[in-house]
Amino acid sequence: MTGHIHSIETAGMVDGPGIRYVVFFAGCQLRCLYCHNPDTWDRGAGKSMTVDALLADIAKYRSYMQTSGGGVTFTGGDPLAQPEFLLAMLRACRERGIHTAVDTAGYVRDAEKSRVREILALTDLLLLDIKSANADKFAKITGVSQESTLNLLRLSGEMGVPVWVRHVIVPGLTDGEDELAALGQLVRQYDNVEKVDLLPFSKLGEHKWAKVGREYTLANVQPPTEAEMARARGIVVK
């Protein structure tokens, strides 16, 4: 079993609990307006790695993960763009007692929907990026419908998979009061949602857009202030 891996971070601290080995999958169906990793969209941009090769590298960092309560996080791009390889890695980690987190926007192509339940059954923590609780805004940001993301959230609730919801605060785009209130109402419906992370919009990946030949439409948008982030948290997290 071979997958396409864009890059690896061996000491991640923000993608789940503890110190984490973070695997960035190549490939993503979304084209989010504020994406800071557009270089991961193309599956062909990654290098091929076998399950065994990736596990061998992960093994070098087991002590750090174990002592910190960490594990392995599969992100991207989007790991759901490579469901078979993701399943193989999740099975292998489960067999070895390694905690796993899947960081995804939840988009699944129709042909691969049958794999979602298997993936969740082997996932210790789902990091679900909800771009917007508003259907029209979601489509504007991503280029796809929000249906798949909401279905994944519902299925995680049915299966009792722990979820950390993530939402990026982009001034003038995702910080509307009604929209944030709707997000709060949505996540409060699910007992398995353990945490809501509101993340500030960042311009760190802006330079990558020109490299992939795409226009960056948020060039004039500035990151939110601490006061703006506090306001957003007050609306979403009650």
| pLDDT tens for each residue of 120-156 | 999 999 999 999 999 999 999 999 999 999 999 999 9
Model pLDDT, residue 1: 86
- Burial profile 50-70: b = 16 or more Cβ within 10 angstroms, e = fewer: eeeebbeebeebbeebeeeeb
| CB-based contacts of 11, cutoff 8 Å, min separation 6 | 19, 20, 61, 64
Query: 3-state DSSP: the chain helix, strand, coil percent, rounded to 5?
Result: 40, 20, 35
Say if residue 111's pLDDT is above 80. no
pLDDT band at 205 (very low <50, low <70, confident <90, very high): confident
pLDDT-derived band at 49, boundaries 50, 70, 90: very high
pLDDT digits (tens, 9 = 90+) for 50-59: 999 999 999 9
> pLDDT at position 112, please?
76
Query: Which domains can be identified in the chain, with CATH numbers?
Result: 2-236 (3.20.20.70)
The pLDDT tens digits of the residues spanning 61-85 come to 999 999 999 999 999 999 999 999 9
Reported as type and span, the H/E element at residue 166 is: strand 163-169
